[in-house]
Structure 1
Amino acid sequence: MELIGSVKNYDWGKLGQESFVAKLAAANDGQFELDVNKPYAELWMGDHCSGPSLISATGEELGSFIQRDPVGNLGPDACKLSYLFKVLSIRKALSIQVHPDKSEAVKLHAQYPDIYKDPNHKPELAIALTDFQAMCGFRPYGEIYSLLKEWPELEALLGKDKIQKLETGGEEALRELYTSLMHSKPKELETCISQMLAKINAKSDPTSLDQLFQQLHKDFPNDVGLLSIYFLNVLSLKPGQAIYLSANVPHAYLTGDCIECMACSDNVVRAGLTPKFKDVDTLLRLISYEGAAAESKFFQPVQLDPARQAHTRTFIPSVKDFAVAETRVPQGVGEYTISNGANGCILLVCSGRAKLTPVGMDPIGLEFGKIVFVPARTGSELRLVIEESGSEFIVYQAMTNDFIEQ
């Protein structure tokens, strides 16, 4: 059945028609009214209590529908979706953040239920829809050391001795150094950042890192989080490239549009580049201080059935909660078959037109912005009849991860 997604208007979202989220929402929901001055940040697809999807024909929440027949909708082993499917349109940086693992999520939810809304972990996958920039994981220790040594202002803020330890000290040296950064005194932090900004503004040929510093300072003046660009890998993703963020990996999305899928949770531990609550000590306690090269952060998809599904590639993380398949059917292909997960799936159409023809059911038209929940009882294969539209047919499919061993 067709779904209406839940739109989130967070401040960091792209404005009006510039937002891919807004374009999808306008196509998805006939009642949607676009405001050119309003940020449209996220489109949620799923049954999370903070933004449940609605069944288009009836207005019923998807979670309620699933509960009326959980076996038919999700199979015998589930009663709610294990994942939350999203699209993000990012105008300015999201927070420096990590997501807790399951045991920590239970503790945080019990202690601070108003901040940590559920007791679940939140590993997540981001697939770029447009040119997309993000920070992800700590840089190699030697790389951080070299970047910090270029700035006397950072040496003055953090201490030469602590920076020097990083040359040979690994994780413990980085832990001490990053803790010092995040606990910087406001006045000393402001002095450091203003002096660095003056030097950068005076450059005739600023580097890409300099330009990122300028942009982050414009959006979050004197925020401690902007100095994380010297600690964290800065990745530039092309459409179709992805990153996977397991528990405790530090990250921040910077700009662009992406498909995102995660375990069904909204738990975020923030510590910078945000007007929201910052839980600095919890982040410093949980964060992974492993340093690794930027190239290692790209997450690669696989083709599960090249002979029968030559135009589908699947992103399979190391958790059972979710996987995402990307199908791009080129023009000229008349029919195509995709697999339905054992627990059903959610489809999001991003380009082209097709008809979905489940066995024993009326065809459903698929076009840009259409969101469809496919129950488990529909069967293991979904037949698509591709219609001529002048572009390739692109659909993303969120499902439980049935491709790895428990």
Structure 2
Amino acid sequence: MELTGWVKPYEWGKVGISSAVAQMAMANDPDFVLNENETYAEMWMGTHFCGVSIVKETGETLDRVLKKDLPYLFKVLSINKALSIQVHPNKCEAERLHKERPEIYKDDNHKPELAIALTPFVALVGFQPVEDIIDYIDEFQPLSKLIGKEAVDALHQTRNAEELKRNELLDVFNTISADFPGDVGVLSLFFMNLVRLRPGQAIYLGANEIHAYLSGDCVECMACSDNVIRAGLTPKYKDVNQLISSVIFEGKSAQCKVFMPYRIDDTVQVFVPPVDDFAVIHVSIKYIVDTYKLQIQPFGSILLTLTGVRNLKLNTKEGRKQITLTRGSIVYIPVEAAPEIEFEHAEDCNEDFSAYIATFNYFRKA
């Protein structure tokens, strides 16, 4: 089934055609009308009730066709302005928060997530090692005053600091400070890891890990949830007490935050997070390769095409089917397609083919 994604115009998104979300939406949906003054932040692919995908052929929602929800939610994000300082609750917290405040926490699921950069991507991920935080406090005296002499002295008693790593931090600080004047969340820059991803690199965020995406475009996959506990850099509700109660106070270096896939062969690599809800397969087929057969398990998956043209051949309830994949194509791959799908060379293909596939994390069971 070919699908139409659900576009979200959040104010932090990129504007007009500069947004990868807008570009994908234009390629995916012939009825999509671009507004060059509109922000295009997210495109959702899946069954979450806040943005369920539509089956192109029938106009039905994907959840009604499947008669169930998928365990994951697949997205494209285009970020022009920092997202909120946030954590996602674990499953028990999500159930409690949804029961107590359903108007804020709209479902009862946890939300571990994986972000794979499509363009140079910048994010704040987790707390820095204590030694590096001490360096920042010493370098910027207003921080010392804010924290208080007693707390700073206590930090120094266990100090084992390395040289200060600026990583162009002040440029980022000035940008975010201008976007969020007077927001105390700006100070989190001095305590969290500033991570820069190249296209194809990824970060994984488990429950209660503090983070904020700052700029760039990415493919994102997560458990099927929209639960966010916020504490800064946002006009939305800030649940500071809940975030402090939930967040993991653990310092690790920025290098530890890059999440590595494992390679199956020269064509396929897989991002396998430590949860059952989802995994992401990256298929990258060279132009010179005539046909590639991908081995899959019998779980419903969603494929998003980034570049190139290929004929996708797969089994369905109605028999063997062929779909021509081009940039922006979104296809639901049914259970019946197992044990393999086939990517065949298309006549008008003159470039390498690249696609991401979100699926249940059966790799973790292997």
TM-score over 0.5 (shorter chain): yes
**How far off is 1:331 after superposition?**
1.5
The aligned counterpart of 1:331 is 287
What secondary structure sits across from 1:357 in the alignment?
strand
Whether the 8 Å CA contact 2:279–2:360 is kept in 1: the answer is yes
Which one of 334, 350, 353 corresponds to residue 306 of structure 2? 350
Residue 329 (structure 2) pairs with residue 370 (structure 1): yes
The aligned counterpart of 1:295 is 255
Whether the 8 Å CA contact 1:341–1:399 is kept in 2: the answer is no
Partner Cα separation in structure 1 for residue 224 and residue 155 of structure 2: 37
Partner Cα separation in structure 1 for residue 139 and residue 336 of structure 2: 60
Partner Cα separation in structure 2 for residue 249 and residue 169 of structure 1: 24
Which one of 229, 240, 253 corresponds to residue 213 of structure 2? 253
Residue 97 (structure 2) pairs with residue 141 (structure 1): no
The aligned counterpart of 1:33 is 33
Residue 196 (structure 2) pairs with residue 240 (structure 1): no
**How far off is 1:405 after superposition?**
3.6
Q: Could you list the per-position Cα deviations for residues 315-341 of structure 1 after superposition, in whole angstroms to 9, with x for gaps in the alignment?
A: 000000000011111111111112333
TM-score (norm 2): 0.95
Residue 352 (structure 2) pairs with residue 396 (structure 1): no
- Correspondence 1:41-60 to 2 at 5 A: 41-60=41-60
The aligned counterpart of 2:185 is 225
Return the letter of the residue paired with 1:104.
Answer: E
Partner Cα separation in structure 2 for residue 332 and residue 129 of structure 1: 23
The aligned counterpart of 1:200 is none
**Structure 2 unmatched ranges of 5 or more:** 160-165
Whether the 8 Å CA contact 1:302–1:313 is kept in 2: the answer is yes
1:169–1:268 Cα change, 3 Å: farther
Return the letter of the residue paired with 2:128.
Answer: R
1:122–1:168 Cα change, 3 Å: farther
Return the letter of the residue paired with 1:314.
Answer: V
Q: Could you list the per-position Cα deviations for residues 220-249 of structure 1 after superposition, in whole angstroms to 9, with x for gaps in the alignment?
A: 012111111100000000000000000000
Partner Cα separation in structure 2 for residue 330 and residue 160 of structure 1: 59
What secondary structure sits across from 2:262 in the alignment?
coil
Whether the 8 Å CA contact 1:128–1:259 is kept in 2: the answer is yes
Return the letter of the residue paired with 2:191.
Answer: F
- Correspondence 1:81-230 to 2 at 5 A: 81-168=70-157, 208-230=168-190
Partner Cα separation in structure 1 for residue 153 and residue 78 of structure 2: 39
Return the letter of the residue paired with 1:59.
Answer: G
**How far off is 1:168 after superposition?**
4.8
What secondary structure sits across from 1:361 in the alignment?
strand
Whether the 8 Å CA contact 1:136–1:297 is kept in 2: the answer is yes
Q: Could you list the per-position Cα deviations for residues 45-74 of structure 1 after superposition, in whole angstroms to 9, with x for gaps in the alignment?
A: 00000000000011100000001xxxxxxx
The aligned counterpart of 1:173 is none
The aligned counterpart of 1:3 is 3
Partner Cα separation in structure 1 for residue 195 and residue 279 of structure 2: 22
Residue 340 (structure 2) pairs with residue 384 (structure 1): no
Return the letter of the residue paired with 1:371.
Answer: I
The aligned counterpart of 1:311 is 267
Partner Cα separation in structure 2 for residue 379 and residue 242 of structure 1: 27
Whether the 8 Å CA contact 1:342–1:402 is kept in 2: the answer is no
1:326–1:207 Cα change, 3 Å: closer
* Number of aligned residues: 356
Return the letter of the residue paired with 2:353.
Answer: F
What secondary structure sits across from 2:220 in the alignment?
strand
1:378–1:152 Cα change, 3 Å: same
Point out the more displaced range, 96-105 or 155-164: 155-164
The aligned counterpart of 1:275 is 235
Partner Cα separation in structure 2 for residue 347 and residue 149 of structure 1: 49
**How far off is 1:131 after superposition?**
0.3
Whether the 8 Å CA contact 2:73–2:222 is kept in 1: the answer is yes
Partner Cα separation in structure 2 for residue 83 and residue 169 of structure 1: 42
Whether the 8 Å CA contact 1:242–1:299 is kept in 2: the answer is yes
Question: How large is the RMSD of aligned CA atoms in angstroms?
Answer: 1.4
**How far off is 1:362 after superposition?**
2.6
- Name the structure with the higher helix share: 1
Partner Cα separation in structure 2 for residue 207 and residue 315 of structure 1: 27
**How far off is 1:404 after superposition?**
1.5
Q: Could you list the per-position Cα deviations for residues 109-159 of structure 1 after superposition, in whole angstroms to 9, with x for gaps in the alignment?
A: 000100000000000000000000000000000100110111221111221
Partner Cα separation in structure 2 for residue 341 and residue 373 of structure 1: 14
Whether the 8 Å CA contact 2:313–2:343 is kept in 1: the answer is yes
Partner Cα separation in structure 2 for residue 386 and residue 277 of structure 1: 50
TM-score (norm 1): 0.86
**Structure 1 unmatched ranges of 5 or more:** 68-78, 171-205
What secondary structure sits across from 1:120 in the alignment?
coil
Whether the 8 Å CA contact 2:304–2:328 is kept in 1: the answer is yes
**How far off is 1:207 after superposition?**
6.7
